[in-house]
Amino acid sequence: MKKLKLVMAGNGMAGMRTLEELLKLAPNLYDITVFGAEPHGNYNRILLSPVLAGEMTIKDIMLNDVDWYAQNGITLHMNKRVTQIDRMRRKVIAADGTEADYDRLLLATGSNPVMLPVPGSDLPGVIAYRDIKDTDEMIEAASHYRHAVVIGGGLLGLEAANGLKLRGMDVTVVHLMPWLMERQLDRTAAGLLQQSLEAKGLKFALEKQTAELIAGESGRVSAIKFKDGETLPADLVVMAVGIRPDTGLAEAAGLHCERGVVVNDTMQTYDPRIYAVGECVSHRGIAYGLVAPLFEQAKVCANHLAQFGISRYTGSVTSTKLKVTGIDLFSAGDFTGSEGTEEIVLSDPSGGVYKKLVLKDDKIVGGVLYGDTADGSWYFQLLRDGQNIRELRNHLMFGQNHLGNAGYQGRSNAADLPDDFEVCGCNGVCKGSIVKAIKEKGLFTLNDVRKHTKASASCGSCTGLVEQILASTVGGAYQPADVSRKALCGCTDYTHEEIRKAIVERKLKSIPEAMGFFEWRNVNGCTSCRPALNYYLLCAWPHDYRDDPQSRFINERAHANIQKDGTYSVMPRIYGGMTTPAQLKRIAEVAEKYAVPAVKVTGGQRIDLLGVKKENLPKVWADLGMPSGFAYGKSIRTVKTCVGSEWCRFGVQDSTNLGIVLEQALDRMWAPHKVKLAVSGCPRNCAEATIKDVGIVGVDSGWEIYVAGNGGIKAEVSQFLAKVKSAEEVMEYAGAFIQLYREEARYLDRTVHWVQRVGMDYVKKRIVADAAGRQALYQRLKDALRDEKDPWEEIVCATWQRSVAAREFVPISFQSQQLHSGEDHERMDNGMPA
Amino acid sequence: MSEWTMVCPLEEIPRLGSRVVQTGDGDVAVFRNGADEVFALRDQCPHKGGPLSQGIVFDRRVACPLHGTTVHLDSGEAAAPDKGCTHKYRVRVDKGDVYLWNL
C-alpha cells in the first residue's frame, strides 16, 4: 500500500512528541517530512535555563538529534521556515522555495516572544528568551558586558535572570506588577521568593513600566528608562514579558484562528486534513504554554493520525515548578481563592516554608508551596481527581509522607539529597544515576524512569522521592500520571472500572473474549493485564469462569512462593494461629523427610518450610495433609489472633475463636491483592489489628471493626468502620467490606489504596448505613466461596495427576544418561505421589 | 553429538506455558506460545538467574518471575531498556513432537 504523506511545520517538543507517539502506534503509515526554522534537531526548550546557568550543555538537552530523524526515515528540513500552505494543491512551501505535498499536515509552529513596542526595542543587545540562539547570545553577552536587565518577573524572566547572575552579570529584574510571578504565586510566596533571589544577588525593580531603551555610543543598548523618569544601566536587555501563539502561517492559509490556531478535541483545525498541536494552538479558548498539556495534546493527535480515533483532549489543569537551583516552588490551580473558597495556610517564614491550599466544597482547587514542595504532586493529584479531602483535612498540610515510608531513612526532600544518596533501597539506585538517566535518555514520566533505572520499580516506597527528582530535573515538563483515569495497562486505553463493568454487563467469560471485546493492542496481553483480567473474571463469574493458570504469576500457579534460588516455600494453613502437637509433629516429620533446609515461624502465626524443590511440592503437600495457607497469592492470607479471654487475664472477648471462624469463612478467597486480618481480645491489641486490612478489637461491650490498615511499605493505621455486639455481626460487616473491595478495587490495590481513592464515607455508606446492601454483599461473598476447593488437595488427588496441568510440576530429565528419543519421556509420569 | 532429541509431545507443554528439560548442562526451558510456536532457552534470566520457565508467556516473550525482566523467546535477548542475553537452543516440532538440537 502506498504510504500517506505527513508533513509537519515546526520542529519543537510538542510536534516531535506527536511524531514519536505516532511512530509507536503506526510506524509504517506515513512518509514523514519535518520543516524546522532552527538549525538543530529537536531539543528540550525547558532546559535552556540550566544551559544558561552553566549546569547543562546544548548536547545534554537534545531530545532527537539529526541521526534520529534519519534512523526513523523522516525527512528533516532544518533552517527552513514554512511560509505558505497551498490547501488546494495540498502542499507547503518554505521560505527558500522547498515544497512538500501532504495528505495530512501537522502545524506545530509554537509561539513567538512578545517584544514590548517601546523605542529602542530593536537595538543590538535587546533580545527575547526563546531558543538556542537567544541563549547563546546571553552567554556571549555575559562574557563581555556587566549590566543586564530582564523585563518580566514571570517564570521565564526569573530563570533568565538567575542564569545571567550565575554567569557573573549584575542583573535587575523589571516587573510591571507589585509582586513576582503573579500568575503563579500569591503575595506572600512571591515575597519569600524575592527574598531568596535577592540573597543570591539579584535586584528587583517592581511596579516599573518601561518607557524606552537608550542606545550608547557603540549603537548597542546602554540604558533602560522608566515612565517615572528613572534610568538603569543596561548592556543587555532580555524581554520575557510573554509569548504569543505563532498563527501567521495558519492565518495566511485561511484557517480559523483566535488567540491561537483553533482546534477541536481531536486536535483538528477547521481544515480536517490539518492538525495542530503545541503552543500555537487554541483549544476551548485556552492556549497552553507549559509542556505537560502539550504532551497530552500530542498523544491525542497521534492517536487520530494513526487512525485509531478513540481519544479526546479535553483540556488540562496545569501546575508550575520553578527551575531555579536551590529554590523549591510549586503552584497549581486557583491559588488566590475567590467567593466561596477557604484557605489552609502553614507559614514558617524563618524556616523558609510557606504552604497554602485553597479549598472549595471539601475539594482542593489550588495551592502554592514554597520551600517544601515534596507534596506538590500529591496535592496536584488530589486537585485533578477532585477528591473529597474532608477526612484528610486534619493532616492535609503535613503532606502525604508524615507517616514514614520504609527504606529511605525518612528523607523526603529530593533537592537536598547528594548524588550518592540511595533513593531506591530495593534496587540500589542513587540519586545521581536517576538524574543522569533522566537527562541522557530524555525521560519525562515515572514509568520511563522505572524502566531505565529500576528506581521505585520494586516495592514503590520511594516513588514520591523519584517523582520529586524527576520534577526537579525536567521542571515544568513533569506531570504526575492521572490516576483517576488509569488504563488497565499498555495493551488498552480502557480503565479497570470500564473493563470490570463490561465483563459483567456483556457477560464476557474468558480472557480472549474480554481482550477481543476491548480490541486489545497486544496479542496475549502482558504480565500486567492477564493476571488482572483473570481475577476480574473470577470475581464476576465465580462458578462459571475457568481459571487460567497461565495468566497467573508462578506463585499462584504452583501454589507456593518462589524463592531467589528457584525453590519454593510451603506454608500450610493454621487457622487463627492455633496448632496442635500432632500437627507440629507432622510438619516436623515432613521437614526431615524432604530435608527442608529452613523452617521459620512467620509473622502471620504459621510455619514456613523454605527451600522445597518444585517437583517435590505435591509430595510435601500429600504428606502434610493440611490445607494450603495461600501465603503466595493475591488472596486471603491469615487471621492473626491474641490468646483472648480464654486464657489472658486482661482479655474481654474470645479473639482466638473469632479469628479461627473468620479464617475458615474466608478460606480460599482470591482478591485484588493480599488480605490480612487480625483479632485482638482487648484494647491492648496484641494482635496488631490496627495495621491490617480488617482488624477487630474486642471491648467489653462487643467488637470494634477497623479497616484499610497496612503494615508494609508504608505504615497505615486502619480506620474505624463500626462497632458491633456479636461475632455474627463481625462476620457480616467484615465479609461485606471484603466483598466490596473484591468487586470494586483495581487489581493490585491493597484495601488502603482503594479506600484512599473512594473515601471512607463511601465505604461507611455501603457497609454501615445500608443494611440490606451489606447483607447482599456478604451473601455474594459466601456464594462465591461455596465451591472453591483447596488447591493442594486438588493437585494431590489422583485424577488431577493424570492431567496435562500436572506436568507443571514434573521436569523432563536427560540428566544422568545418554539421551535418546522416545522412551525417555515416559519417565515424566514417575516421581508423583500416589 | 549432533542430533535432534525428542523431548515430549507438543500437547504436554501448556499453551502460553513451558516445560523444564533437565540436562547434564543445566536446565533448558521449552516454551509454547499462543500461536503454538516453540522456543528453547537456558532456564536462567540474564538479570539475576531466575527460572524463566516459570514466567508468564505472552506473544514471543516471557517475563522472569523474580524481577519481571522481559526476555525475547526467539533471541534470548532481554527487551529494552534491559540488557543481557540467555543462551538459545534450536528446537523444532515434527508430527506433534518437540525436538531439541544437541542437548
Residue from the list B6, B22, B54 with its beta carbon closest to the beta carbon of A822: B6
Q: Are A561 and A571 in contact (CB under 8 A)?
A: yes
C-alpha cell at A65: 538529534
CA atoms within 13 A on the CB side of A456: 21
User: CA-CA distance, A795 to A556, in Å (whole number)?
Assistant: 13
User: CA-CA distance, B72 to A552, in Å (whole number)?
Assistant: 19
Q: Which amino acid is at A70?
A: A
User: CA-CA distance, A324 to A662, in Å (whole number)?
Assistant: 56
pLDDT tens track for A702-747: 999 999 999 887 788 999 999 999 999 999 999 999 999 999 999 9
Residue B2 three-state SS: coil
Structure confidence at residue A830 (pLDDT): 37
Residues of A in contact with B48 (CB under 8 A): 564
What residues have CB less than 8 Å from A560, skipping those under 6 apart?
A568, A569, A570, A612, A614, A617, A632
Residues of A in contact with B29 (CB under 8 A): none
Going from the N-terminus, what domains does chain A have, and what CATH number goes with each? 4-112+245-305 (3.50.50.60), 126-241 (3.50.50.60), 486-552 (no CATH), 571-633 (no CATH), 641-796 (3.30.413.10), 801-829 (no CATH)
Residues of A in contact with B98 (CB under 8 A): none
Residue A729 three-state SS: helix
Q: Are A113 and A243 in contact (CB under 8 A)?
A: yes
Q: Are A167 and A198 in contact (CB under 8 A)?
A: no
pLDDT tens track for A450-507: 888 888 877 777 777 888 788 777 765 566 665 556 788 889 989 999 999 999 999 9
Per the CB < 8 Å rule, is B15 touching A816? no
The pLDDT of A637-655, averaged and rounded, is 95
C-alpha cell at A739: 466483598
A581 preceded by cis ω (within 30°)? no
> Residue A85 — φ and ψ, nearest 5°?
-115, 125
User: CA-CA distance, A541 to A510, in Å (whole number)?
Assistant: 10
DSSP B32-99: E-TT--EEEEES--TTT---GGGSEEETTEEE-TTT--EEETTT-BBPTTS--B--EE-EEEETTEEE
Q: Are A469 and A475 in contact (CB under 8 A)?
A: no
Q: Is the dihedral of CA A60, A64, A66, A70 positive or negative?
A: positive
User: CA-CA distance, A165 to A398, in Å (whole number)?
Assistant: 34
B11, B58, B102: which to substitute to probe chain A, counting the most A Cβ within 10 Å? B58
Q: Which amino acid is at B91?
A: V
User: CA-CA distance, A184 to A103, in Å (whole number)?
Assistant: 41
Residue A460 three-state SS: coil
Confidence of residue A102 (pLDDT cuts 50, 70, 90): very high
Residues in chain A: 834
- The better pLDDT of the pair A822, A147 is held by A147
Per the CB < 8 Å rule, is A554 touching B55? yes
Residue A795 three-state SS: helix
DSSP strands (E only) in A564-621? 568-570, 598-601, 607-612
Least confident of A190-194, A802-806, A810-814: A802-806
pLDDT at A804 over 90: no
In whole angstroms, how large is the CA radius of gyration of chain A?
32
- Residue with C-alpha cell 479471654? A645
The pLDDT of A319-342, averaged and rounded, is 77
Alpha helices in A275-413, H assignment, sequence order: 291-305, 376-385
Q: What share of chain A is helix, strand, coil (3-state, %, to 5)?
A: 35, 25, 40
- Residue with C-alpha cell 514434573? A810
Structure confidence at residue A829 (pLDDT): 39
The pLDDT of B85-99, averaged and rounded, is 94
% of chain A beyond a pLDDT of 90: 65
- Domains of chain B: total: 1
pLDDT at A701 over 80: yes
User: CA-CA distance, A292 to B80, in Å (whole number)?
Assistant: 25
- Output the average pLDDT for chain A: 89
Angle, CA A47 vertex, CA A450 and CA A60 arms, to 5°: 70
Quick count: other Cβ atoms within 10 Å of Cβ A93? 17
Chain B residue with minimum CA distance to A826: B8
User: CA-CA distance, A305 to B84, in Å (whole number)?
Assistant: 35
Per the CB < 8 Å rule, is A551 touching B8? no
Domain residue limits at B83: 4-101
Choose among A802, A832, A788, A812: nearest CA to A617.
A832
Residues of A in contact with B81 (CB under 8 A): 441, 451-452
- Residue with C-alpha cell 521542571? A475
User: CA-CA distance, A630 to B12, in Å (whole number)?
Assistant: 27
Residue from the list A523, A562, A825 with its beta carbon closest to the beta carbon of B54: A562
Residues of A in contact with B99 (CB under 8 A): 821
Quick count: other Cβ atoms within 10 Å of Cβ A306? 18
Residue A318 three-state SS: coil
Residues of A in contact with B8 (CB under 8 A): 812, 825, 828
- Residue with C-alpha cell 531498556? B81
The pLDDT of A107-115, averaged and rounded, is 94
Q: What is the ipTM of this complex?
A: 0.94
In chain B, the N- to C-terminal Cα span, in Å, equals 8
Residues of A with CB under 8 A from a CB of B: 441, 451-452, 457-458, 522-527, 530-531, 549-555, 557-558, 562, 564, 566, 804-805, 807-808, 811-816, 819-822, 824-825, 828
User: CA-CA distance, A800 to A83, in Å (whole number)?
Assistant: 74
Structure confidence at residue A155 (pLDDT): 84
- Inform me whether the C-beta atom of residue B84 falls under 8 Å from chain A C-beta atoms: no
* CATH number for the domain that contains residue B60: 2.102.10.10
Choose among A147, A116, A117: nearest CA to A220.
A147
Structure confidence at residue B81 (pLDDT): 84
The pLDDT of A561-573, averaged and rounded, is 94
A814, A824, A826: which to substitute to probe chain B, counting the most B Cβ within 10 Å? A814
Residue A112 three-state SS: strand
Structure confidence at residue A831 (pLDDT): 36
The pLDDT of A28-57, averaged and rounded, is 90
Residue A750 three-state SS: coil
Choose among A57, A370, A53: nearest CA to A195.
A370
pLDDT tens track for A274-326: 999 999 999 999 898 877 788 889 999 999 999 988 888 988 877 776 656 56
pLDDT tens track for B41-60: 999 999 989 999 999 999 99
Q: Are B97 and B8 in contact (CB under 8 A)?
A: yes
Q: Which amino acid is at A720?
A: F
- The better pLDDT of the pair A427, B39 is held by B39
Choose among B4, B23, B12: nearest CA to B87.
B23
Per the CB < 8 Å rule, is B14 touching A807? yes
- The better pLDDT of the pair B97, A61 is held by B97
- Inform me whether the C-beta atom of residue B18 falls under 8 Å from chain A C-beta atoms: no
Cα pseudo-dihedral A260, A262, A264, A270, rounded to 10: -150
Confidence of residue A403 (pLDDT cuts 50, 70, 90): very low
Q: Are A438 and A419 in contact (CB under 8 A)?
A: no
Q: Are B101 and B90 in contact (CB under 8 A)?
A: yes
Structure confidence at residue A77 (pLDDT): 96
A450, A492, A523, A550: which to substitute to probe chain B, counting the most B Cβ within 10 Å? A550
Per the CB < 8 Å rule, is B8 touching A815? no
Q: Are A250 and A280 in contact (CB under 8 A)?
A: yes
Closest-CA distance of chain B to residue A265, Å: 34
Q: Are A471 and A379 in contact (CB under 8 A)?
A: no
Closest-CA distance of chain B to residue A93, Å: 39
Output DSSP code: residue A463.
H
Structure confidence at residue A833 (pLDDT): 39
- Residue with C-alpha cell 513451558? B18
- Residue with C-alpha cell 537608550? A214
User: CA-CA distance, A299 to A22, in Å (whole number)?
Assistant: 8
Cα pseudo-dihedral A247, A251, A256, A259, rounded to 10: 30
Residue A791 burial (C-beta neighbours within 10 Å; 0-12, 13-18, 19+): buried
User: CA-CA distance, A378 to A385, in Å (whole number)?
Assistant: 11
pLDDT at A438 over 90: no
| A336-355 burial code (b ≥16 CB/10 A, e <16) | bbeeeeeeeeeeeeeeebbb
Least confident of A27-31, A47-51, A83-87, A770-774: A47-51
